[in-house]
Amino acid sequence: MKPMTKPAAAVAAAMAVLGLSAPAQAHMPYVLPTLFDVGKGDHVTVESAFAEDAFVPELAMRDAPFHLVRPDGGIVAIGAVTYLRDLSIFEADLKEDGTYRVSTGQRLGRKSEMYRDGGGKWVMRGEGGPPPANATSVAVQSATLAEAYVTKGKQTAQALKPIGKALEIQAVTHPSEMTSGSTASFILLFDGKPLAGADVTLFRSAGVHDGRKVAAQTKSDSSGRFALTPDDAGTYLILVRHRAEAPAGAETPWRSYTYTLSFDVA
């Protein structure tokens, strides 16, 4: 597929967020710290956006409940967020040593409709061709969550513990220990339970320059586990999507969940 130009991509992303019809389902949220290991630094600067290519901002993430999970597991607010057209930027104070989780928080977005194709897979209207004549559509709302881990001084593991709600990835291998050529292990969870058989895609930031955007594709096993082996040093992003019935009281009966985890490989 011919890549979109920057203006075209930005328009497509904007249409998706506003709930207009556009082939923008490939867009993903992300958070990107300036450093994943700040040493003795007292803060970290973070950018966040929606993008088609990993870490290439196209539309600022607005209305997201950005926050920081401290090394002891407590949740703290971030600094003021600056919203540009392409991306959002904020600073977060790192007062204690340890590993922090930088999170957009769960953001509810566009509402749309989806239907099951001939193979039983959920398909959003507008993703491909017209739906089958007898397809029954259901209302669905997007729910996006993007996270990354930042370590100050000695690494800790408390902030890596899963929240137990919606779609998330638990890093079994500590992000600070991920190196090129070595296998990193993860567990995919939905509402705190292992999610089996889900598609997992690993993107590499260098792919924007050399054309190898997708570093790996795999599926979670019966216990929700999956493993990835980044070949090169650099920044990576794991993307997982899952469509499921929404919680009681939600605005739509179904939700389309997207989760991304950004990390750096030495």
Reduced to 3 states (helix: H, G, I; strand: E, B; else coil), residue 11 is helix
The reported pLDDT for the residue numbered 134 is: 78
Residues pairing with 204 in the sheet: 236
**What residue ranges in 54-194 does DSSP mark as E strands?**
59-60, 67-69, 75-76, 82-83, 88-93, 98-103, 107-116, 122-124, 138-152, 167-171, 184-190, 193-194
Which of these ranges, 4-13, 147-156, 229-238, has the smallest mean pLDDT? Answer: 4-13
pLDDT digits (tens, 9 = 90+) for 97-134: 999 999 999 999 999 999 887 777 888 887 767 777 77
Dihedral sign (CA 238, 218, 213, 265): positive
Q: What percent of the chain has pLDDT over 70?
A: 90
Region label for 222, one of left (φ > 0), alpha (ψ between -120 and 50) or beta (otherwise): alpha
Mean pLDDT of the region 69-93:
96
CA–CA separation, 210 and 223 (whole Å): 35
pLDDT top residue among 128 and 40: 40
CB of 202 closer than 8 Å to CB of 196? no
CA–CA separation, 240 and 198 (whole Å): 7
Region label for 72, one of left (φ > 0), alpha (ψ between -120 and 50) or beta (otherwise): alpha
Q: Is the pLDDT of residue 221 over 60?
A: yes
Reduced to 3 states (helix: H, G, I; strand: E, B; else coil), residue 220 is coil
CA–CA separation, 175 and 189 (whole Å): 18
Mean pLDDT of the region 49-58:
96
pLDDT digits (tens, 9 = 90+) for 172-196: 999 999 999 999 999 999 999 999 9
pLDDT digits (tens, 9 = 90+) for 193-213: 999 999 999 999 988 888 889
Prediction pTM value: 0.87
Q: Using 50, 70 and 90 to split pLDDT, how confident is the model at 15?
A: very low
Q: Is the pLDDT of residue 16 over 70?
A: no
Buried b (16+ CB within 10 A) or exposed e, 145-167: bbbbbbbbbebbeebbeebeebb
The reported pLDDT for the residue numbered 128 is: 67
Q: Is the pLDDT of residue 12 over 70?
A: no
